[in-house]
Amino acid sequence: MPRVIPREQHNLSRKQISRGALKVLYGLKDAGFRACLVGGAVRDLLLGRQPKDFDVATDATPEEVKKVFRNCRLIGRRFRLAHVVFGPEIVEVATFRGTGDGESGGDRHVVDGRILRDNVWGTIEEDALRRDFRVNALYYDIADFSVLDYVGGIDDLEQKCLRLIGDPATRYREDPVRMLRAARLAAKLEFSIDPAAAAPFKELGHLLADAPSARLFDECQKMFLAGYGLASFRMLARYDLLRHLFPGTVHALAHDASGALEQLIERGLGGTDARVADGRPVTPAFLFAVLLWGEVAALAAKLQDEGAVRSLAWQRAAHRVMAEQGKRVAIPRRFSYAIEEIWALQPRFAERTRKRVFRLMAHPRFRAAYDFLLLRSGESGELRACGEWWTEVQALSPEQLSESLAPKSTAGKPGEKTGSGKRRRRRGGRGRRTSAPQSDLQE
Ligand code: ATP
Ligand code: MG
């Protein structure tokens, strides 16, 4: 029997549930089905947080859900689901999953303990047991507005602890991505990971190598682009899971004597989190450029030492790093182009003749590459000065900039060539920027 928390004893109210999710819950109920809000939404609402999305669990099969809602499409093969669409909102509706011991109504495919397909329908109790963490297995029942706890999730919410349902090793073998979910949710919720749930990471972390690379890309987006990327990164590093996703990064960090790479990653992720908090757009390209920088920079330097000319060395290094990384995390082509461009533009910031400066500033990837340059200021005093130089030239009008730059040789400080005190004062009067202008090119 579940622990039932009646409506007057919990803080989850219908006002906090999206319109779409309520329509789905009531629609299913009115059609005679059982319908509950489940998973992250119930967890987040009980914690007083705004959920990212609302998931519904029901005893209706996907086909039955489709009959209730016209605006419904069935998706997934591995895990069949119904999506009910309300404009921009999609409510995911999953049929209660069973244990698969002899029930009818679906199929489950297991290879070496790994669940490759899970479409066996069952009861709500069984559904609770198939979820990953106890805090993710709470149900909000639209029939009486109570919260149902079959596994002890409420206790874990109070203790701020992530515990797996069932035997941790078995659950990770079924789906290795659950290890990443543990680190991600611990970072997002600021929870601890139960020692029993963390213990198998060392032995089973390597199973992540077989997880579909497209799914790992999705998981990376959730970890690093949802506002808690820095915390996720630290959690992955702390539990030594990072090497299963970004082996080159871990290697580069181990050789980062100056700490510049760690600083770049921490500032890059922290900056992305700040953008998310401000509601500004973020792109996976900038993020992967940051995470893989140590590796590509080391390889490019090595190739140059071996005699390759600079541009070719960078090109080859970028291709090789992206190809290697793509075996683990499938980075879509449009992002890998952008990543390679951000890297390729880095050496070009050293060129300060008039023509080259204007050409670089007109490059569509200039702002992202400039943001990236600023993150690298810990690498050397020279790079820091270079970043400051580019910050200053952007505050000049095109005419001022043109005047201040030597047509051929490397220019000194911006504005120096003309050296007019009048101009300098005017610039100051307009409120000269002392820090980097906010980039709007991280999109
Ligand atoms: P977030 O708030 O980041 O969305 P979430 O817990 O809601 O976190 P989802 O991926 O939206 O994560 O999954 C919704 C629910 O589905 C989870 O709360 C959990 O109950 C269940 N679930 C998701 N992934 C797994 C998995 N790999 N194994 C078992 N259950 C899972
Ligand atoms: Mg969710």
pLDDT tens for 26-61 read: 999 999 999 999 999 999 999 999 998 999 999 999
User: 141 forms bridges with which residues in the sheet?
Assistant: 36, 146
Q: Is the pLDDT confidence value at 337 over 70?
A: yes
Q: Is the CB of 176 under 6 A from ligand 1?
A: no
Q: Is 371 a catalytic residue?
A: no
Average pLDDT over residues 109-135: 90
What is the SS3 assignment for 407?
coil
Q: Is the CB of 80 under 6 A from ligand 1?
A: no
Task: Report domain extents, the chain.
Answer: 1-159
Q: Which of 59, 132, 273, 371 is catalytic?
A: 132
Block residue for tokens 């009067």:
429
Average pLDDT over residues 90-111: 79
What is the SS3 assignment for 332?
coil
Block residue for tokens 């079959």:
150
Q: Is the pLDDT confidence value at 68 over 80?
A: yes
pLDDT at position 423: 41
Average pLDDT over residues 176-185: 98
pLDDT at position 33: 98
pLDDT at position 79: 87
Name the region of 344 (left: φ>0; alpha: ψ -120 to 50; beta: rest).
alpha
Whether 112 and 136 have beta carbons less than 8 Å apart is answered as: no
Q: Is the pLDDT confidence value at 425 over 60?
A: no
**Tens digit of each residue's pLDDT (9 = 90 or more) over 402-424:** 988 877 655 455 544 443 434 44
pLDDT at position 439: 40
Q: Is the pLDDT confidence value at 326 over 50?
A: yes
Q: Is the CB of 127 under 6 A from ligand 1?
A: no
Which pLDDT band, with edges at 50, 70 and 90, does 155 fall under?
A: very high
Question: Burial of 182 by CB count in 10 Å (0-12 exposed, 13-18 middle, 19+ buried)?
Answer: buried
Whether 239 and 230 have beta carbons less than 8 Å apart is answered as: no
**What is the C-alpha to C-alpha distance for residues 116 and 131, in angstroms, rounded to an integer?**
15
Vertex 280, ends 371 and 330: CA angle to 5°? 70
Q: Is 273 a catalytic residue?
A: no
For a substitution probing ligand 1, which of 91, 181, 191, 276 has the most ligand atoms within 8 Å of its CB?
181
What is the SS3 assignment for 255?
coil
Q: Picking from 72-81, 153-162, 407-416, 427-436, which range would have the lowest pLDDT averaged per residue?
A: 427-436
Domain spanning 1-159: CATH 3.40.1230.10: no
pLDDT at position 430: 41
Q: Is 132 a catalytic residue?
A: yes
Look at 325 and 421; give whichever has higher pLDDT.
Answer: 325
Q: Is the CB of 426 under 6 A from ligand 1?
A: no
pLDDT at position 427: 42
Mean pLDDT score of the chain, rounded to an integer? 90
pLDDT at position 431: 40
Which pLDDT band, with edges at 50, 70 and 90, does 435 fall under?
A: very low
Q: Measuring CA to CA, how many Å separate 201 from each of 134, 137, 433? A: 18, 22, 47
Whether 173 and 81 have beta carbons less than 8 Å apart is answered as: no
Q: Which amino acid is at 257?
A: A
Q: Is the pLDDT confidence value at 169 over 60?
A: yes
pLDDT at position 112: 82
Q: Is the pLDDT confidence value at 246 over 50?
A: yes
Average pLDDT over residues 224-249: 97
